Each structure stands twice: as C-alpha cells, then as structure tokens.
A and B are shown apart, each in its own frame.
Chain A
C-alpha cells in the first residue's frame, strides 16, 4: 500500500531511512521546519530553508519519494523577538518555491506571550503573502498552515490558546486549510470539532503509540485525521506510521479506512496546494 507521511523531519535522517521508507511504500513526505536541537542564527535559517527546498527533494527523489516542506521559525526559537523579525523577513522568499506547501510548523511550545506573538505573525504572513500565489492559479484565502501543539503538560492549554488565536483571525482563516498536529486523547475532539484537520504523532514516551492512535481513529473517526512518524534527531522511528497501519489492520479495519488515513487524507489536505502531486485514490476490487 502507498503511504504519505505528513510530518517527518528528514534532514535528521540518513539516506538509508529514505530507502527503508520507500521500500515500505512511502511515496511522499511532508517536512515541516523545526528546531535543530540548538538555537540558530538568522543566517542559519536561510541555509536550513535551502536544505529543505533544494537538497532534501533530491535526496528523496533517488528513491522515488516526493519531498515537500513547510517554512517557518519554529516555536522553540520564537522567544527572541528580534531574531524572529529577522527570520520572518526571509520566509516569503521561500514560500513560492516549487516544493513548499505552506507555513509551518508554527505554534506554541511553552505557551509564552512571545511565542504567541510570533505565531500570530506567521498566520498573518500566510494570509498576506497569499496574493502572489493566488495570481499563479492557486485557490483559497491563505497559504496552508501546519501547527505544532506543545508537549506533555502544556499541550491542553496550548491547544486551547492556539484555537482562540485562530478564532481571532475570523473569516480570514479557512479551517479546512489548517492542520493542527500532535493531537492526543485530550485535544483531538476540540480540534476536530472546530473543523480543522488533525495530526497524530507517533513518538516514543512524549506523544502517541500506534495502539492509542488507532483507538483515536475509532473513537473520533478517520475524517480529517492523519498519522505521522515525525521522525527527527531524537529517539524516533520513521516507520511508526506503518506500525499504526499494522495495528489498525490487526484490528480488522477495512483497506478503505487504511487508505483514507494513511494516503487519501494527506493527499486531500496537501492537495489544496497545487504543488502537491499525489491525488486521492480509490480501492476497487476487480472481478475477472
């Protein structure tokens, strides 16, 4: 079966991981901009954005994988407003690159006022820079937005605050063009009820397990829901998306459900950006 991993930090992975993922059916990856494990200089961000938009697509293509990315200043480095201003000024130059899907992963990390300010600036940028893309034939009211939600004890408060801030943008925000990531048992409902797409991240200790992810698919429905491995430089596994699919398969979920969660939902959400090539597919039994 084909799989689209909607959130994987491939800059941290080896080329062998690309090969493994390709062997396991991954045909496309979306890679949000994130924290490198240390705080970078503004110049370091420009190099990073070039890595995401120039180098990674080539590395992925060796294995027949389409590589897409998202550009932003991640929340972990948003505390320094001076640096944020400098980095944000560089972002529009990258948004129209051929493999950039939108602005992300933005959001809150420790729920601080400065993180909130920089989050709002990113959302405003996604709206303000849209006109140029629109002229190139894209539809919608803003760039696609990918949102990170905080970890552990900060997640619930941060998710609620994120939703409030998005609400403040009113009709300027199209909920169907926003993906809110790292939802868990206590946040999935408020995100889906608000009409946003939701992502579940399979990550040891701090996030979700394959078993819990399938529980959430069952309880909250496959609609507007995605699963990702988020594999990065920490202890993580790019095949955790597959382990979740296997858990769903073991429980007897239909092939159509697996297709929905692991391929068609990402294809539908990302496909709102005309740069994203994979299209939703239908499972059809042929009787001969």
Chain B
C-alpha cells in the first residue's frame, strides 16, 4: 500500500521543486564524460562496459516513467 503526502502535489509543483537539482546533476554527468574525453589515451576506454552502461542508462532516461530509477538499478545488476 502506498504512503502518500497529506496533500498531493501537481506534476508542475514537483518539477518546480526538483528541476534545478536535476539540471545540476545532468551538467555533472556531462562534465564527467567531458573529463574522460579530455584525458590522454582515450582509446583505452573505448568499448568499456561502464561507458556502455552510461549510454544505456541515458536511453532509459529518455524513455517513459515512472520506474526509470528501478530500470537503471536493474541494468547495473549482475544476474
């Protein structure tokens, strides 16, 4: 059974609350990837599974919700 707040917030209110945080995290991801790209011997990480994981996680972000977090957790899980 779900446990919800006393007063539900609209999607717009939730977006207002978390947009800046989300923006900051996306920029952080971009900067992390740029840092890898700027580093010497970039060829060593071509095909690295971790970069593949990031690519696939970004595809999940582009897809529909509301279980993106769980999908990324599963993507990163060893079976």
Residue positions of A touching B, CB distance < 8 A: 152-157, 184-186, 211-212, 215, 217-223, 251-254, 257
B6 near A: Cβ within 8 Å?
yes
Given contacts A154-B78, A156-B74, A251-B9, contact A218 B2 (CB under 8 A): yes
Interfacial chain B residues near A219, Cβ < 8 Å: 2
B48 at the interface (CB under 8 A from A): no
B50-72 residues at the A interface, CB under 8 angstroms: 67, 69-70
Q: Which residues of B contact A212 (CB under 8 A)?
A: 69
Tell me, yes or no, whether B7 is within 8 Å of chain A by CB.
yes
A185 x B7 contact (CB < 8 A)? no
Q: Report whether A156 and B73 are in contact in the complex, using a CB–CB cutoff of 8 Å.
A: yes
Residues of B within 8 A of A (CB-CB), count: 18
Q: Is B5 an interface residue (CB 8 A)?
A: yes
Bound complex: CA A220 to CA B1 (Å): 6
Residues of A contacting B2 in the complex (Cβ-Cβ under 8 angstroms): 218-221
Determine the main DSSP class of B at the interface with A.
loop
In the bound complex, residues from chain A placing their C-beta under 8 Å from that of B44 are none
Q: Are B1 and A221 neighbours in the complex by a CB distance under 8 Å? A: yes
Contact of B69 among A157, A185, A221, A253 (CB under 8 A): A185
Q: Is B39 an interface residue (CB 8 A)?
A: no
> Inside 8 A of B9's CB, which chain A residues have their CB?
251-252
The chain B residue sitting closest to A254, CB to CB, is B6
- Decide yes or no: A152 and B76 within 8 Å by CB, A252-B5, A253-B5 being known contacts: yes
Q: In the docked arrangement, what's the CA distance between A272 and B9, Å?
A: 37
Contact B3 A257 (CB under 8 A): yes
**Chain B contact residues, CB within 8 Å of chain A:** 1-7, 9, 18, 67, 69-70, 73-74, 76-79
Q: Is the interface of A mostly helix, strand, loop or mixed?
A: helix
> Are B69 and A153 touching (Cβ within 8 A)?
no
Question: CA of A155 to CA of B77 in the docked complex: distance in angstroms?
Answer: 7
* B22 nearest CB across to chain A (Å): 11
- In the bound complex, what is the Cα–Cα distance between A152 and B2 (angstroms)? 26
Can you list 10 pairs linking A and B with CB atoms under 8 Å apart?
A153-B78, A156-B77, A185-B67, A185-B69, A186-B77, A221-B3, A222-B3, A223-B1, A251-B5, A253-B3
A255 to chain B, nearest CB (A): 9
| Closest beta carbon of chain B to A244's beta carbon, Å | 13
**Bound-state Cα–Cα, A222 to B3, Å:** 6
Task: Kindly state the separation between the CA atoms of A221 and B2 in the bound complex, as whole angstroms.
Answer: 4
Pick the residue among B3, B4, B73, B79 that contacts A185 (CB under 8 A).
B73
Q: A157-B77, A185-B70, A185-B73 are in contact. Are A252 and B6 (CB under 8 A)?
A: yes
Give the residues in chain A near B70, CB-CB below 8 Å. 185-186
Complex alpha-carbon distance, A184 and B75, angstroms: 13
CA A154 to CA B79, docked complex, whole Å? 8
Nearest residue in B to A219 (C-beta to C-beta)?
A: B2
A contact residues around B78 at 8 Å (CB): 153-154, 156-157
B74's nearest neighbour on chain A, judged by CB, is A186
- A residues near B7, Cβ cutoff 8 Å: 252
